[in-house]
Each structure stands twice: as structure tokens, then as C-alpha cells.
Structure 1
């Protein structure tokens, strides 16, 4: 099984370009365990995301919320929301369709300010669970399948079919009776956690203290810990370790770097500590991980 690398920039923004040659939309199949980390790492993007779980069960984290999405159900993740995904349970081989679309493309430009901007600006709409047993939910999930099919086949006028499906999806979402709220404190909190995450990503190879992270978010140390615990379900310093391991996974695919070189390059000051933390998080040693990745890449699976 070919492992896939999930790339994010220093601000936590996903680097995948979610578009075709002609349309600012992409729909692809994601198998969670195929990611080199064994899960989809924490990230965010400007695009709206619609998920349809086609096999197994997924556990999504969106901002400070945890959502279990069973097979056949879906999930809407709003623009700019930090999120990650992992399998629910062991070895269920969860697969989902992921539809990402620019907010400016879901409706004609003349309708954007009225029918899209209020929803991506709302602070109480980070996600919506799309349930298959609800009629409007079933129509949204079916429209996701149509977009996937149209983008793959690209039959004549497929662009119009995609645009029509996106209108259907968005209309069902905004007519669900959801009361929008705009809480300035939530906007500030979201910005602060992104600022702290960005600072960690920029300085991950350097010695990092809790005070440094707190300063980046303009918070006290205790408030910083509370932010990370509530929104990212971890501690600030554990997030630093997790991110360093994430960076090491990328470097381990470069055969010319030794394990010790990689350990120090990503910010660990001890090779043995790096190996212990890598084994704890990845359930495998760095050397064995490198060998397995090399074998998989050679065999092409």
C-alpha cells in the first residue's frame, strides 16, 4: 500500500492545490491509514470541505469539537477551521470522499455576499454532520458522489453539472434552519491558536519553551495550555514533539540523512529521545519506518 505524504505549510495551511485545470474544486478518495502518519494531520484551508465516508468510521476533530462520522454519513467543514481525522477503532480501513471547493465558486459571484459570506463568517458553524437518514442530507451526499463522477469522467458540459451539484449542496446546507452567530471572542481565539501553531512550525528546530509559545499568542502560560487542551486536545509541548516527529517522517524518506542528523535537524537534542518519541507516536522505530517506506516505494504499493 503506497503511503501518502500530507503536506502543510508553516502556518498549518494545507499545501494541496484543490482544483482542476479549469475549476477551483477537487474531489478525491482518501484512505486514512495510507497517510505516512497513520492519520490526517492537523491543518486548515480556505476552501469549504465536504466529506462522505464510504467505508469504515472516521473520527474528525474540528476546532475544539470531536465528531464521529460512520459509513454512509458525511461532514461539512467550514473555511479556515482547523481539523484532522483518524480512524475510529482499529483496522477499519476508513475511506472517505473529500470534496474541497473555493467559497467563491459555490454560487454565482453576484450571490456570494448574500448566500455564502455570512455562513463562512459565522463563529458557530465550524462543521455540520450530514446524516444519510435525513432527506436533505441524503441529497447532499448524493451530490458529492455526482461531483466525484463528473470530475473523473469529464463528459461534455461536466463543468455545468459540477456547478449544479455544488448549488444543490450549498442550498441544502443554508436552508437547514441554522441560526448564525458572530462572536468576536471566538474569532480572536481562532486567530491566537493559529498564531501559536505558526510560531511553533517556524521555530520547531530551535529550543522551545512554553513561555515562547504563550508570547506568540499573547497569552499567559496557563491560558496557552487551556487553549491547546480545548482546541487541539493536547499540551503545547506535546504538540511541539508531534510536529517534530511529523517533520522527521518527511526527512526519513531522504536516504542520505542519518537518523542522528534528522533528530537534531527537527529539534531534538538527543538521538535516543528522538527514537523513543518516534516509536511512541508512530508505533515503529525510525530505522524500521525508513526501511518499510523504501520497500513500499520500490514495489509501488
Structure 2
């Protein structure tokens, strides 16, 4: 597994810096490897699939994504990706940015007619961008150009990235091209907010024992009802999701230090080293020590 994956999934990761809040990530995954756990972040994101076929989740919506297609993810959208073909490797690029990057220095026509509607989700990109639609194919071409510019860090690439995003915004101003997501279905919003509350609790408390009962009481639901709800929303049981999150934190620590594997296991919330190694191997297709060597 590409070692950038774990860092990409950290909700508190800084993408770029305060002067240029944009970053791109290329991820390559072997056949059969899980793609993305359910998560979200404050930044918007273009997710472009370069190889393979996956099932993408955006809030409560699911759709297949094929190589050459992309997804636009709004700030705060819950999203995840699942393997559709166990025999095919997966490769994608994620372009993550704060919409504020595009803001005008003063309130002008561009701010009024393009930037503000994007920030308020009144005039946004289509969620699923496909080459089958000619004007969407133009968007994909712009994404490819931005990926190349970012990868090569060509002189002035920051200006090119911002300018290209503005050009892409101009392509969706025509009626029927943009989507208005400022109003959401109340039932879906309730589900999403409940899930976010649980995931935030897991992120804040993963180093300590977490019982399913603790999570169910946050919403609140009965324990059985909660387990069904969580599995429906994330395609994982609560225990599997917690273990997956802990493994991602352990992977970061294995890359960043030479600390004992047992110490790392205890720090991320596992109380049994053998169980930690078993769960790590299942998730990462290698042992913690092999992962550390491969990351060096």
C-alpha cells in the first residue's frame, strides 16, 4: 500500500499551507486492498480515478467510478470508496483545497457570481464527472493538467492551479451544468450528522477502550439499532471501523519513529500486541515490522 494513504485520511491534516491551501496526493493500491474508510474534511476535493473500478460513497449516495472519471467532494461531505473488482489494482489522485483559495481580494463580480455560490453550495460542480459528457470531459482535462503541474512543480504552478480552478468554475455557470446542494434532505442530514458525531468521538478517544454502547448512547439509539445504522452508513461494523482507524494511526507512528511495536500498539488503543499484529497484517497486507522497513 502507498504510504501516503494513511496521512491522507487524517481529518486534521493540513493540505498545503496558509499561503496556498491546496495539495495533491497520488495513491496506488494493490488488488483487493480497501480504498478509503468513511471520513470527511473541511476542504473540497477532486478525486480522480486513474486505474481500477471502485464504488464511491458521498453522504448517503453510492455510485460506481471507473478509470478516467472523477468525483467532486464538497467541504464536510462524508465520503468513502470500496473495491468493486478484487483482481484489479487501484490508482487515484486526490486534489484537496480550501474554496477560500479562490476568493477575490475584494467583493467583485467573480466573487458574487462564482466564488460565493460555490462556498455556499448553491452553484457547485457535478458530483460524478464523466468523459461521456463533452463539457465534463473538459473538466477532466483541466484536472489532468493540474495534476501534471503540481507533480512537476513547474514555475508558477500555484498561479496555474488557481487559474485553472477558476476556469473550471466558469464551465459550470450555464444552466443545467451546476448543482445546488445548499438544501439537503432532512432525513439524510440527520443520518450524516449522527455519523459525524460518532466518528469524531472515535477520533478523539481511539487511544482508550471504546464500547459499542458508548457510541450508541451518543445518538442515542439502542445498541443493536446503532450497529445496523453504522454498518449501513460505513459498510463496517463499529469494531472494524475503530480498528481500521487505530491501524492508520499506528502506520503513521511506524513511519515517524523507531519506537517498539508493542509501545505503538498500546498507544493507539490495542491492549494485546498479538491481536494488533493480526489486525495490522489483515489491513495492510504486511506485518508492522515489514511496513516500517518498506516505509524507510
Distance in 2 of aligned mates of 1:127 and 1:229: 27
> TM (normalized to structure 1)?
0.77
Q: Which residue number corresponds to residue 43 of structure 2?
A: 47
Distance 1:150 1:22, change over 3 A: farther
Match of 1:198, SS state, is helix
Match of 2:45, SS state, is strand
Runs of 5+ unmatched residues, structure 1: none
Match of 1:7, SS state, is helix
How large is the RMSD of aligned CA atoms in angstroms?
3.5
Distance 1:58 1:127, change over 3 A: farther
1:178 maps to 2:174:
no
Q: Residues 260-275 of structure 1: matches in 2 within 5 Å?
A: 261-275=263-277
Distance in 2 of aligned mates of 1:233 and 1:166: 33
What do the CA deviations read for 1:104-134 (whole angstroms, capped 9, x no partner)? 23464635565455556559x8971111121
1:221 maps to 2:218:
no
Q: Which residue number corresponds to residue 260 of structure 2?
A: 257
Distance in 1 of aligned mates of 2:125 and 2:76: 9
Q: Which residue number corresponds to residue 291 of structure 2?
A: 293
Q: Which residue number corresponds to residue 13 of structure 2?
A: 15
Q: Residues 60-71 of structure 1: matches in 2 within 5 Å?
A: 60-71=56-67
Distance in 1 of aligned mates of 2:261 and 2:180: 55
Distance 1:251 1:166, change over 3 A: closer
Q: Which residue number corresponds to residue 204 of structure 2?
A: 202
Match of 2:280, SS state, is helix
Distance 1:69 1:272, change over 3 A: same
Distance in 2 of aligned mates of 1:121 and 1:268: 41
Q: How many corresponding residue pairs?
A: 286
Q: Which residue number corresponds to residue 4 of structure 2?
A: 4
1:145 maps to 2:141:
no
What do the CA deviations read for 1:7-45 (whole angstroms, capped 9, x no partner)? 378xx62504235x84333334332459xx863443322
Distance 1:257 1:68, change over 3 A: same
1:129 maps to 2:125:
no
Shift in Å at residue 146 of structure 1? 2.3
Match of 2:270, SS state, is coil
> TM (normalized to structure 2)?
0.78
Match of 1:162, SS state, is helix
Distance in 2 of aligned mates of 1:79 and 1:292: 36
